[in-house]
Structure 1
């Protein structure tokens, strides 16, 4: 499993909720067939991640074959981070690119 949480403050290597990637693109880049990406509540944009230019209009979420994304987890900082409730812990994949300043 690969973990993603925009609030995680650890190593950001995707190995746990504490060390979750902050950006979904980073998890997608490392995922291979059969991997599950667990995504905590938050808003995730395709132009955020290592080596990606903010505001890049070509940015999109593209999964490798066989990769599964599951969203709606409580995530880092919650007493039970593995609780999944898609109504309560909303995960939004937004096409609104990050504004460049």
Structure 2
């Protein structure tokens, strides 16, 4: 292969790796407490953004869940006396609330 092509391809891969979106992960956070399970950072892949799911019961936060989510969309709905709020964002660590 052409050496220039390999050089350009290598640079592109490095730039792509540097610009990946970083999101907080927490698979179980209770009310205003610390993260109890799955705390860390994920790197959003193609078609992924940072997602924060908050679940409320009678206007009181019950738990939250944070991950990299594919095809994420903002959404609010109520089911069984609980309100579920999905919040999607595309800035580093934007799902930490």
Which has a greater percent of helix?
2
Q: Which has the larger radius of gyration?
A: 2
Which has a greater percent of strand?
2
Aligning the two structures, in what range does the TM-score lie when normalised by the shorter sequence?
A: under 0.3
TM (normalized to structure 1)?
0.25
TM (normalized to structure 2)?
0.25
